Structures are given as structure tokens and as C-alpha cells.
Structure 1
Amino acid sequence: MMLPRIGQTIRLNFMSSSEETELHSFKSRITDIQDDVASIELPTSEVTGRTGLFGPGTECSVWYVGEDGSRYEFSSSIAGRKSEHIPVLLLQLPAKEHILRTQRRNYLRIETTLEIAVKLNDPIRQYHFLARTMDVSGGGLSFTCDESFRLQEKDMLKVWISLPGKNGQVQHAFAEMEIVRQKPAEEKGLHQWISGKFIKMSELDRVKVVRACYERQLELRKKGIED
């Protein structure tokens, strides 16, 4: 996997309880690398242009585009702060095996079971039910549900996704989703399978989903190493 290089532009999403740092993506640039620590310019919000207070231990997710055009992602934390020619933060770099590579403009899709609430507004089919996902990505998800819900391709659903975090807190994301594939139950009494793509979703909620997928991937990778 490709580590970031000096001069690399990176984006950071800080895992903080502060609404200001949770709300926006931050942009920075790597000014130096010493061993497994990178010096980065003070991150600035891509919305407000302002920086924030990021003390030692503040967790974040980092992504950047490599020279091959692929997107690379990893989890990190702020190791400290120092003043060189300009004030910089010290960013902990991961081992190469903890960096995830995804094709640019594509989203990491993870098999995971999450609780979702689904609503279909239709003159006849007024459905509102709970279901569990089969897989999730920043671009869509699939789930199973009882065959009594007569869902079909092109249906537009409202979906509320429950996202458990590493700290035990649960976040929620909302999306409007179009069904792109419906697979009937193979036998009577089994569930049908629904797959859809997100048509409308706030950037904040998409970041939540992408982060949850990334953390789940690291969890599965860690279990694989331990096993």
C-alpha cells in the first residue's frame, strides 16, 4: 500500500464530540515525515476555512489520492503539535497493511448487519418497517425483508441507518434510495433480497457510513490476523 508523501494533500475527518469538527471535512498538507510520524499543516475546514482545536490523542480518519489515481484511507490520531517555520500537527502514520486502497469515486462495500428503518410512500403500498442489511457502502446497501412487502425495482425508499461506533455510541444516517435489484424469496417463508443505490444523502451522513464501513473492515482484518 502507498503511504502519503511529503507535499501530499490529505483530507481528515475528526472523530470528536464537537459538532464543529464532526460536521466538516478538513484539508491539510504533509510538510515532513520522520519514521512513523508526519508533520502536517494545521487542518482547515473545507466549508468555513477555519482550523480547529485538535489535541494529542484526537482520533481521525484520513484519505488521499495516490499517484496511481486510487484513493487510500487509514485511521490515525494526533500525536502532538510543534512549531517549525509554521505551527504543525504531528499525525501518526499506520503500518502499510492498515492502509485501505479503493478505486477513486468507488466506495468500500462491507458485508455487515445493521439495523435500518425503511419507508415507502406509495398511494397503495404504505410500508414502514424495520430490516437488517446484508452489505453497506457509501453508495448504497442491500437488505432482506419479508416477501409480504411488495417491493420492486425503481421504487424510491427512505432509509434510516443505525451505525454503532467504537465508543459504544450509536449514530444515525438518512438516505433516499432507489431499488436497483429485487430478488424474490427462494422458498416460501424466506425473505426477499433488495439492493439499492443512494440517490439523495447529505455529505455528513455519507461520511458516517463510509467511516463505519472502514472501521468494520479494520475490525475484520484484525480478527483475521488474530485468528
Structure 2
Amino acid sequence: MLPKVNQTMFIQTLHASREADAEHADTFRSRIADVTSDSFLIEIPMDEKSGKYHRSQMGEPYRITYYTPEGVKHQFATEVVGFRKDTVALVEIRKPSPEDVTREQRRSFLRVEAQLELAVRIGEKLRFVALTEDVGGGGVSFRCERKWPIVPQTMLSCWLLVPYRSGSVTHAQFEGEVIRVKEVEPRHLAVMMRFKEISEAEQQKVIRFCFERQLDFRKD
């Protein structure tokens, strides 16, 4: 499945001599602005940590990683083939053949340990704030007080506070279904929840956070 317009992409800038060092290569984020028959037009790649834009060069090799809404990780190799000046400056990269895109055979949402603020609503009246224990592209786990009426299959309306390495903060809104509830302390519950209804744009916010957090873990 080739990426579409507005798809978030994570880009590694690799040179042939550094193929073996892919894990340590610089990683940038971009988004597809337009698609032609043989290329993708993407926004200028940006390093979220420094806030600096990457100055792409003609013929520069890229390794692209992206995730479908179903959570399947895809990757392909490409190169810069041109530049366009539209409303904003765009980088043109070669579109791969479908057979040149590798995909994992199973759903592979990134899941990372993270304590993020989660606003939860049960029905129309009950509201509380909890902290997540881990976050992934397919759902979250959190702890809350035992007094809240949460059991498996409970539907929760949630707003997740999502911080990025750049210092910016956003919110991801979704409907979640409780999968498992476990008593962890006399007054607290551990709740595992999967996304039941979430837009692709909101899900990409969570995936982007997880990808950045994974890069930070690798550098520690």
C-alpha cells in the first residue's frame, strides 16, 4: 500500500556507505503534499528535536518509514529527484513500485512507556484525569482510582495530551474500548484500552510521539 496525500513520513538520510548504520542515521519528519504518476511531493523534512529543516540535495538517498491506519509498518528506499515551489517549497522524491515497499507481516504499532495526561469521560457525566503507563498506535494503558465504574468492554471518550521533542504540544481525541482491567493497588486499577474510533490524523499524532520516543530511547 503506497502512502497517500497528508501521510506522515519518517525519513532517514542515508548514504551508500552508511547503509549498515541505518539505526543511527538522522531522522526527520515530513508529510506528503501531492502525488504524481511517478513521484511524491513532500514538505521539507524537519528535525523535530532541533526544529531545523533538512537541506535536501538532488540525488540524495532517503529511507522512508510510514504506518497505515491499521498499524502496519512500511518502508522503502528512494531519492530526491527535484524541487517544486508551490504555496510552500516542496521536495520531489521518486515513487517506488509497490513491490519495492517492504511491510511487516503483522500489525506493528509502536508501543512505548510514557506518562501522559489522559482526560477520560464515561457516558455524559463522569469525567476524570489519569496518567498513561504506555502509549501505542493501537491504544493506551493507564491507571485510575478504583471508584470509577470501568470494566471490560466499557467505552471511554478520551483526550490524550501529546508532547513532541520540538516542545510543541497537541491533543489526540478518540473513543476507546476497555480490553482488560486489573487491580494493582487497594485503591487503583490498571486499564488496558484499544482505539475503537479514531481518525487517521489523530492516530498519526500518537504514532509520531511513539516514533520520537523510540528514537530517544535508542540514543540513551
What TM-score, normalized to structure 2?
Answer: 0.61
Deviation at 1:73, TM superposition (A): 6.3
Gap change, CA 1:168 and 1:58, over 3 Å in 2:
farther
Write the mapping of 1:1-227 to structure 2, written as runs, cut at 5 A: 11=3, 24-25=6-7, 34-36=16-18, 45=34, 51-54=41-44, 57=54, 62-63=64-65, 71=73, 82=82, 88-89=92-93, 104-121=106-123, 126-187=125-186, 189=187, 191-223=188-220
Contact 1:181/1:195 (CA < 8 Å) preserved in 2? yes
Match in the other structure for 1:17? none
Identity %: 30
> Residues 134 and 106 of structure 1: is their aligned pair in 2 closer, same or farther, counting only changes over 3 Å?
same
> Is the 1:25–1:45 Cα contact (8 Å) retained in structure 2?
no
Distance 1:35 1:168 in 2: 33
CA RMSD in angstroms comes to 4.0
C-alpha distance 143-102 of structure 1, shift in aligned 2 (>3 A): farther
Q: Unaligned regions of 5+ residues in structure 1, if any?
A: 1-8, 13-22, 38-42, 91-100
Q: Aligned-pair distance for 1:177?
A: 0.3
| Amino acid of the structure 2 residue aligned with 1:127 | L
Q: CA deviation at 1:181?
A: 0.6
Distance 1:57 1:167, change over 3 A: same
Unaligned runs of 5+ in 2: 20-31, 46-52, 57-61, 84-90, 95-102
Structure 1 SS opposite 2:41 = coil
State the alpha-carbon separation in 2 of the partners of residues 58 and 159 from structure 1.
38
Structure 1 residue 80 displacement after superposition: 7.3
Q: What is the total number of aligned residue pairs between the two structures?
A: 168
Deviation at 1:35, TM superposition (A): 4.0
Per-residue deviation, residues 88-130 of structure 1 (Å, max 9, x unmatched): 559xxxxxxxxxx9654221111111111001106xxx31111
Deviation at 1:186, TM superposition (A): 3.1
Task: Note closer, same or farther for the CA distance 1:58–1:168 as it changes in structure 2 (3 Å cut).
Answer: farther
Go from structure 1 to structure 2 and tell me whether the alpha carbon gap of 1:52 and 1:127 turns closer, same or farther (over 3 Å shift).
Answer: same
Displacement after TM superposition at 1:33 (Å)? 6.5
CA distance in 2, matches of 1:159, 1:119: 6
What is the rounded CA distance, in whole Å, between the counterparts of 1:133 and 1:168 in structure 2? 19
Rounded to whole Å, the distance in 2 between the matches of 1:161 and 1:61 is 30
Pair 1:134–1:64, CA change in 2 (3 A): closer
Give the secondary structure class of the aligned counterpart of 2:185.
Answer: coil
TM-score by length of 1: 0.60
Instruction: Supply the distance in 2 between the matched residues of 1:61 and 1:158 (Cα, whole angstroms).
Output: 36
Question: Secondary structure of the equivalent of 1:184?
Answer: strand
Contact preservation (8 Å) 1:11, 1:63: no
Partner Cα distance (1:201, 1:135) in 2: 18
User: Letter of the aligned partner of 2:44 in structure 1?
Assistant: F
Displacement of 1:166: 1.1
